[in-house]
Structure 1
Amino acid sequence: MPLISGALWFTEVEVLERGAPPRVMPAGLLPEHVRHRLTARRATIAGLDMTQPQIMGILNVTPDSFSDGGQHNDVSVACDTALQMVADGASIIDVGGESTRPGAALVPEEEEIRRTAPVIAAIRAKSEVPISIDTRKAVVLAEALEAGASLTNDVSGFTFDPALAPLTAQAGVPACIMHAQGDPETMQENPQYADVLLDIYDFLSTQIDRLEDTGVVREQIVVDPGIGFGKTLEHNLVLLRNLSLFHGLGCPILLGVSRKGFIGKIGHAPDVAARAPGSIAVGLAALAQGVQFLRVHDVAETAQAVRLWQSVR
């Protein structure tokens, strides 16, 4: 049976239930609606083909992001960086004006707009590349849309600002729902789950339903399990080993692991800038589970790796 785009096939599924051990069953015995979500071809997102891996280039216009804070404070520098990422193989640029590193403080709306809207406008003036706005706030989204953004990417999973989902629906742009336990200031303070896989799956499922209720169509929703956002090292590894579970939601999957702390810890790379090899390794493992988007800092290196992976798989 083909998984989503048909590049991957499966004959059995593992069924996970709370309070019961995992069990394996033939894929042909799945209920029709579950089988449809696992096998149906995904619609294009912001004009991007979901049968091919898509690279989302990270453009943080913040002074304090964990990896590239302060590097893109000038609009022209930020724009040039984005255009270089496109040339290197990024198919979408993710612009963020509020750091979500562990311990980061809330940024006022006006400051977040000041950081992001001019950069989005500058990129849009020179390129038709899709641009996502990484924000939790509706007023920031409104200005980003006016400047040329084409996707809402909310690290709070649309739980922070109740006006964000209706505005996304009104604008008719796709939405990315990410899971995070807690807010950036406190999320790494002893995160706990009853069942990390099912807790996050259920959260994403609930938020998909809520977005649909506001008018965002399911076919235009992307899900992100939120690696490193309120998760221990073991939580992250469990999620990464089981990313294919989230295909059951019927939405494309985005993975953001680039340069994160667990890569430094496992890969013996305390220097954030030295974590590209580990980031790429995890990204390719995710593609092998059918993930559609890789959100990365190191675009050229990732694009090269993806091209080779596609050639030899």
Structure 2
Amino acid sequence: MTSEPTSGAGPAARPQDTGELAGRAVARVGYGAMQLERLRDDRPAAVALLRHAIDLGVDHVDTAQFYGDGFVNDVIREALRPGDDVLVVSKVGAVSDPGGPFPLRLAQRPEDLRASVEANLAALRTERIPVVNLRRVDSGITIPVPDDQVIPLDDQLAEMLALRDEGKIGAIGLSSVSLDVLRHALPAGIVCVQNAYSLVARDDEDVLRLCAEERIAWVPYFPLGGAFPGLPKVTDEPAVRAAAERLGHTPAQIGLAWLLHHSPRTLLIPGTADPAHLEANLAVAAITLDEQARTALDAIPTRPVAGLGH
């Protein structure tokens, strides 16, 4: 697969059925496990939801030890079976802080990154995590950054590379990074980037372009916006609603489908705690956006991202 432009190719273009992440093919719509925390009081339902996703073809699950203060990783460990061919992607750079002003706090020091990897390994009961994203503080975040959490990228990458050399992680990704940070990190062999990005928040188009050039998977979080105050909502856009009504889909499905059509490097990880919503998300991979819809959606202006980070 060669470098691709960030727009579709023709009036009847459809998203590809699979994309590439860490050297393997995965379904372009995976599952972001953060929302499993909403089922904390019904653990069997959380396990059943993840099993349902896997049974429907999900082979890319995104998680973090700080999701639900460990609850989400516990669910993943219980739900996965030996025969499942699921690529589990986690992230480091923050830890749970249930009693703090935010549900998480930054943990950017190299020793913190290592401790977080070890915590993920222990929770998932595995010897190796296929992909671990280094969650930086360069883009799309408003959590206060203490002075002791301003860590040089090279120091962090050195620790991540050591963990990869030790076999504890398989590949390195980045999250919440600027274009310059991504460029600087490229020699480390970055396999994916997770930034806040949606149809109405496209400030990182230059980051996406570089990902396309370097064959790096683009995994947007907050793909529909609106997750926190200050984030515009894709589903509020009149053009999105009009396209949904005309094509027979929900506004959320149209917003997700646009992301898949916009760049072949895009992999989605929408999260939900509802089985019907899960099925609707996975159906997005089969949606065709005609030229009329794509022209109208492309014309929607982007708005600044301002909200709590991922």
With a CA cutoff of 8 Å and minimum separation of 6, indicate the structure with the bigger relative contact order: 2
With the length of structure 1 as denominator, give the TM-score of the two structures.
0.48
TM-score (normalizing by structure 2): 0.48
